[in-house]
Amino acid sequence: MPTWFDESRLDDESALAAGDGVLRTLAESGARVRRESIDAAQAAAEAVARSQDQVRPRAVIAAGPDSRLLRAVLEPWCPVPFVAWPSPALPGWAGSLDLVVVLAPDGSDPGTASAVAEGVRRGCQVVVACPPTSLVADHAAGRWSTVLPTVTRDQLATAVVMLDYLDRVSLGPRADAERVAEALDAVAISCSPHRDLAVNPAKMLAIALADSNPLLWGGSVLAARAARRVAESIRRASGRTALAGDAEHLLPVIEAARQRDVFDDPFSEAGAELRPMLLVLDDGAEDAVVREQRGRLQAAAAARGIRVETVTTDAPTEVARYASLLLSGTYAAEYLRLGLVED
């Protein structure tokens, strides 16, 4: 059935009440990060103290299907070889000289439990962030293993707990949980459903998304991952196409778009078609490659009359900037869902 976007619903109390469950969950993102950080503090301190008596690991292996976020953060920074290994087993060379880190927000995945058990069996140093009473935690029992207890089943909050540990053992960048929580709180305030459409960046972005097929781009590794996650949220919210990719993947789509004609009848088939829109997630990365790619995308969009929207953040750390961009885009996707109504 055809749908159309009713922007008045974004300031309508009854419509917003219908989406209160999801919006409340988004608003509590900072609180979940703080809770996980506090709950895991003692176990993390013990793991850090234990690491002082051990040599620096030969390599860090991020195991399990949630390892890709750790990969995005650690690959450019980790001082020892790093590999993300999402399969249910570990690489054949993994052994007692290596550190295996695992994110298991739910703790019930048999494949992740299998990878953890294999790491324990091989004598690896194993650090797992998961619920303390879960399948994965049960398989993590061992002399050289540590469970960082989590309870919220939030992937980002669980990742922050692990990244904070890796920061403290000099294997990862700064990942101050309080800074991440503050960045999430700032987004929740600016994108609150109680803020009017005219001053709410997420509601304004939802309006821009409503009549377009968005193309999402992030220059840095973390911004690119945030773009992929936001694209997933937009697809779930609207059932429409949303593509996230590198500049070389998005440029052909932009260049193939029909030139915009200001005289198009919006009620005709040509005038009512959904055109591409370029959504840039900008985390402040300003190296030469990022600037060049962003310039090419924006120039191509301008040449075809394609709208460009930018989501920015001034959070102080890499992880906080990633969290801020991700939450801003997720808010916009939820407002898009609320505004779409069936004809």
Residue 265 above 80 pLDDT? no
Q: Express each pLDDT in 6-60 by its tens digit.
A: 999 999 999 999 889 999 999 999 999 999 999 999 999 999 998 887 889 999 9
- Measured distance CA(201)–CA(328) in Å, rounded: 8
Spatial distance between the Cα atoms of 58 and 228, rounded to a whole number of angstroms: 31
SS3 283: coil
Amino acid identity, residue 5? F
Q: Is the dihedral of CA 155, 160, 163, 165 positive or negative?
A: negative
Q: pLDDT-derived band of residue 271, with 50, 70 and 90 as boundaries? A: very low
Grade residue 272 by pLDDT with cuts at 50, 70 and 90: low
Looking at domain 41-149, does it have CATH number 3.40.640.10? no
Residue 238 above 50 pLDDT?
yes
**For the chain, which residues make up each domain, given as ranges?**
3-28+180-342, 41-149
- The CATH architecture annotation of domain 3-28+180-342 reads 3-Layer(aba) Sandwich (3.40)
pTM: 0.93
Same fold, 3-28+180-342 and 41-149: yes
Beta-strand relationship, 3-5 and 340-342: antiparallel
pLDDT digits (tens, 9 = 90+) for 279-299: 999 999 889 999 999 999 999
